[in-house]
Amino acid sequence: MINSTSQMSSKRLLLNELSVNDHDFILQLVNSPGWLRFIGDRNVKTATDTIAYIENIITNPNIHYWTVRLKNEQTPIGIITLIKRQYLAHYDIGFAFLEVYTGKDYPAEATQAVLHALPESILSEKILAITTEANSRSIKLLEKLNFVFETILEVDNRPLRQYALSTDQIQIDKLTQAFFALFTNIAEAPPFDRINELCHQQAQIIKKTADGAEIYDLQSFIEPRKKILTDGTLTGFSEYEVVAETKITGQIAQRFSRYEKSGTLRGNEYRGSGHKMLQFMKKQAKWQIIHVIWEDNA
């Protein structure tokens, strides 16, 4: 298993490397209608078949599977796969979930958790994903995750669509997610000090207001937010992207985000939404935020 990725988590999910203890769930998954239609019949019909199938996976250094579970229930709901195939130049990532758990963004959340945990040695230039022409749900999910269509492959007399996600895109996605997490205090105090790691030391952060703009440097931006998120004024708070679009040109990039936020403000339920524009600069293979401007919806 890839170092440091044997166990991962996200907001709603836990991911653990596949083990033979997962055989009941894997038997159900590989015989589900979606698997049989889009991936194929693996002729796994019994517990013995399933254990042998899992052992073949976990002993192959070119194949990595994670079982995805609901955090609160420990219920297995799907898998994320990372495979170095002979006919592809880079690793490809995949996902398969029981039908009842599709349509709730679990596959996207689990895929992002794996992408954000992968070491640079695996990421190299890009990560690929392949799917059939008929699997519109998979295609839609890949596009949501910013994968870009590259080509049609012919594999075992079957056409497959190949998508790619650049390492730069993965790093910017991860950086943006970490910036939003600076202000989440649901489980613990937010990691405010990370703002100096995520942002250039001279970064500007601007709030668009009805009368003009409030302009901050890093310290003047973080201090008042640190106060209300730690003194009980605003509790159970989180802010997160719901839609994002990134444009990367050479060593600079720009991202437009629509976000939502919620929590309890002075004892009352609080919800809001708005738009952010983030600008990034790459220096010595590392991306940093150099500019943020946001506007809350009225």
Averages of pLDDT over each 10 residues, the chain, 298 residues? 73 95 97 94 96 97 96 93 94 95 91 90 87 94 93 91 95 94 89 95 95 95 95 94 93 97 96 97 94 92
**Closest to 58 in 3D by CA, of 18, 85, 21:** 18
Q: Do 7-166 and 182-296 have matching folds?
A: no
Give, in order, the Cα–Cα distances in Å from 246 to each of 66, 103, 257: 28, 24, 9
- pLDDT of 114 reads 95
What pLDDT score does 254 carry?
98
The CATH architecture to which 182-296 belongs is: Roll (3.10)
pLDDT digits (tens, 9 = 90+) for 173-193: 999 999 999 999 988 889 999
pLDDT at position 290 is: 98
Query: How is domain 7-166 classified at the CATH fold level?
Result: Aminopeptidase (3.40.630)
Per-domain residue ranges of the chain: 7-166, 182-296
- Give the three-state DSSP class for 66: strand
User: Structure pTM?
Assistant: 0.84
Q: What is the pLDDT of residue 51?
A: 97
